[in-house]
Amino acid sequence: MADHASVGFWVRRFLSEHLVHERGVSRNMQQSYRDTFCLFLPFVAAERKTDVDKLVIDDLSPSIVSGFLSHLERARSCSVATRNQRLATLHAFARYTGNHSPEHAEWCAEIRNVPFECTWSTPVIYLEKEELDAPLQAPDRRSKLGQRDYALLLFLYNSGARAREAVRVTIEDLTWDSTGTGSVKIHGKGREIRICPPWRKTMAELQPLIHGREVDTPLFLNRYGDAMTRFGILELVARHAEAAAERIPSLKAKRSSPHTIRHTTATHLVRAGVDINTIRAWLGHVSLDTTNIYADRPSSESEGFGRLRTGRRQSPEKEVARQPEPNGVPAKTLKPSLQRILP
């Protein structure tokens, strides 16, 4: 007979049944929840001086949760945003346990009363046009790897894709039309799919990468012929930005990453006069509030102003329940504006 006081019993049901079968969250979200418990349970066991498999619900007291959150910030150097994300997972777990076990309703209320911390939003860093042009000119396009690097950098800027999204693009996600343009299917967060229309120049640079290859293979490969990873893309962007910084000193003061290029795409689209709703769909944002950080900032600054956030966000369960329908952005809506900022 199941021990309803055991932490293991409720963690298993929460991770394996509730998240997977009832909520149907994405694998990335499942991994995020799991990682929280991989950190939290050993911490509680050490504090209670017992084994993980012997923990009971009452061991997870509000003071233990608060101590765990402090441990994340001090011992692991986690940001306040990460701290709040871990707490949101514990709140969701407490709510699930309280809903299915009335005897733990009081414990559920105590855990959910552990507050989020206020945090300042991270300033948005983006590149000016000359700062973007320099890394694009850095790859040696006489070599195959140089051609791939240039095509990848151009693709990131053109599509505004996240690094994780770029590595998931396969050849069959690309379509061409008679004019030499086409579209690319991007698989975003939470199973969201969006269709973006690349420039003709981008499609031309991608063409040599796919010649003679199977359509179900990844678009971007490493030097060994395997799919690139997001860490590989991060290293590639940083390497070419470092090389370009010799000519453009202002790059040394900025952290160059795939997400910096994504911020650059959004900021340049705003400057080009593209409608904010179109940019939201282009970047795959669920909420317009996320896109508005680009519209609310001064166009003459390279760093956005931080804004105070309470840290209390919608629960992860509610977030995954709001997955958007697959969407696309009409090419005619964006291409005239984008061509004005083509490097």
Catalytic residues: 162, 189, 259, 262, 285, 294
Q: Name the DSSP letter for residue 307.
A: -
Q: What is the DSSP string of 31-78?
A: HHHHHHHHHHHHHHHHHHTS-GGG-BGGGS-HHHHHHHHHHHHHTS--
Taking residue 342's Cβ as centre, other Cβ atoms within 10 Å add up to: 15
Structure-block tokens of residue 267: 């900021």
Please, is 148 exposed, middle or buried when counting C-beta atoms within 10 Å of its C-beta (0-12, 13-18, 19+)? buried
Residue 273 and residue 103 in contact, taking contact as beta carbons nearer than 8 Å: no
Tokens of 259: 């997400």
What is the DSSP annotation of 288-332?
A: HHHHHHHHSS-TT-SBPPP-EE-S----HHHHHHTPPPPEE--HH
CA distance 253 to 301: 14
DSSP one-letter code for 125: B
Q: How far apart are CA 99 and CA 87, in angstroms?
A: 18
Burial of residue 117, with CB atoms counted within 10 A of its CB: 0-12 exposed, 13-18 middle, 19 or more buried: middle
Residue 6 and residue 2: Cα distance in Å, rounded?
8
Distance CA 323, CA 316 (A): 12
What Å distances lie between residue 333 and 162, 266, 274, CA to CA? Answer: 22, 15, 8
